[in-house]
């Protein structure tokens, strides 16, 4: 890959990853506490107005990170993933990349199914479903934030050439 293209792909990867991390931080530290401050119809309106956009943004960002990460991985390994087992740098990339891929797959297959099942974005969402959304939103983003923090730490260590 030409070095100019490599730099662009790497910047897109880093910026999308940082934006994804920031989005999950906003969910955990701003949106969920705000949601907790509402009840009844206000909570339902908030869920329906905000969370479909949050899910779409997470899809775009996590997908971008996964695709650009795959391109960068191929660039560094030439397709021979055994290289990742040869040194500490490779192991950090392998673990961080695997966690990122698992989180992305979880988002696309589990979170989106969960959002459809509980009716996020549905104006006829029942109050019981809203409470279910609130309960799940108190757990899933916290776990995601922990995983993304781990990935960021691993990748920052790796990029510094352990």
| pLDDT, tens digit (0-9, with 9 covering 90-100), for 120-137 | 566 666 667 666 666 777
Q: Is it the case that residue 119 has pLDDT exceeding 80?
A: no
Q: What is the chain's mean pLDDT, rounded?
A: 87
For 119, the token pair is 């009716």
Vertex 132 angle, CA 129 and 138, to 5°: 145
Q: Which residue has the higher pLDDT, 52 or 153?
A: 153
> Among residues of the chain, what percentage have pLDDT more than 70?
86
Q: Is it the case that residue 9 has pLDDT exceeding 70?
A: yes
Q: Rounded to a whole number, what is the distance in angstroms from the first to the last CA of the chain?
A: 24
How confident is the model over 62-73, as pLDDT tens digits? 999 999 999 999
């Amino acid at each position: 890959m030409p070095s100019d293209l490599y730099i662009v792909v790497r910047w897109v990867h880093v910026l999308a990853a940082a934006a994804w991390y920031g989005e999950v931080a906003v969910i955990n530290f701003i949106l969920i506490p705000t949601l907790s401050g509402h009840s009844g119809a206000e909570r339902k309106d908030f869920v329906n107005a905000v969370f479909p956009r949050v899910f779409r943004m997470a899809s775009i960002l996590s997908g971008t990170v996964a695709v650009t990460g795959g391109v960068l991985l191929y660039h560094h390994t030439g397709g021979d993933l055994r290289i990742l087992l040869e040194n500490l740098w490779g192991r950090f990339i392998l673990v961080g990349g695997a966690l990122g891929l698992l989180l992305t797959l979880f988002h696309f297959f589990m979170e989106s199914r969960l959002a459809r099942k509980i009716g996020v974005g549905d104006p006829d969402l029942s109050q019981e479903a809203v409470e279910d959304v609130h309960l799940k939103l108190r757990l899933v983003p916290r776990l995601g934030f922990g995983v993304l923090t781990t990935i960021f730490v691993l990748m920052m260590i790796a990029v510094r050439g352990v």
